[in-house]
Copies of this chain bind each other. A is one copy, B any other.
């Protein structure tokens, strides 16, 4: 049984990829909707939340944990690995293989917490020691996506502001370092033209599929369970936009 943990909704874009590759595997999803967003909170607070939420999933019997939230992963991945003995897949560890080998300028877009943590930067630098790395915090992207403004001119204007430092640059790759950003793909493509946009979700799901031993118990697609810390019904509408399919079983973690 696979556990996916996210601050709220974004991790559902990762779950979509995992479901496609492991259709018979049961998934427990945890969205910390009572305390979201994580992207502007401090490392200490985010780490505490991650430990609590992961403990909840581990106690439910998952055998692999996916940290689908880049902010959580950037800040707490190493603490989580010290704390739990099951395999932990952190979304931030994937996607770098899609960066062109000869990339000279690599951009990371993320929340303030992800950018401040510097983990993406460090990992990209290890692989592309000569490349210039430009981390850009884009804090308004998450609320814009969650409020349905992904295709609105407002999203384009905000993207223009955030991407202003790239105007004079020849950029070779842009990492979408937040699970909400793939929903802004159109707006980002308008602004960035032919620069490859890299969403680590697919590579993360592939790595999971390669290492995960299927439980082999299910012959039909299993019914996944979604746990949330706020009211279950509030999760459904926006959750279905991210997952792109109906969400049936939503439970509150406290009840």
Contact = CB atoms under 8 A, between A and B. Distances in A.
Contact of A34 (B45, B139, B143, B154): B45
A231 B42 contact: yes
A140 interface: yes
A4 B85 CA distance: 44
Interface in A37-74: 40-42, 44-45
A144 interface: yes
Nearest to A140: B147
Interface in A1-46: 33-35, 40-42, 44-45
A40 B234 CA distance: 9
A42 B161 CA distance: 33
A153 interface: yes
Contacts of A139: 143, 147
A158 interface: yes
Nearest to A35: B35
B45 A230 contact: yes
A133 B104 CA distance: 58
A221 interface: no
Given A35-B34, A42-B231, A230-B45, A154 B147 contact: no
Contacts of A147: 139-140
A157 interface: yes
A153 B161 CA distance: 11
A81 to B, nearest CB: 23
A215 B152 CA distance: 53
Contacts of A128: none
11 contacts: A34-B35, A41-B234, A42-B231, A42-B234, A45-B229, A140-B144, A152-B161, A153-B157, A154-B157, A154-B161, A157-B157
Given A45-B231, A140-B144, A140-B149, 14 more contacts: A34-B35, A34-B45, A35-B35, A42-B231, A44-B231, A45-B229, A139-B143, A140-B143, A140-B147, A143-B143, A149-B158, A154-B157, A154-B161, A157-B157
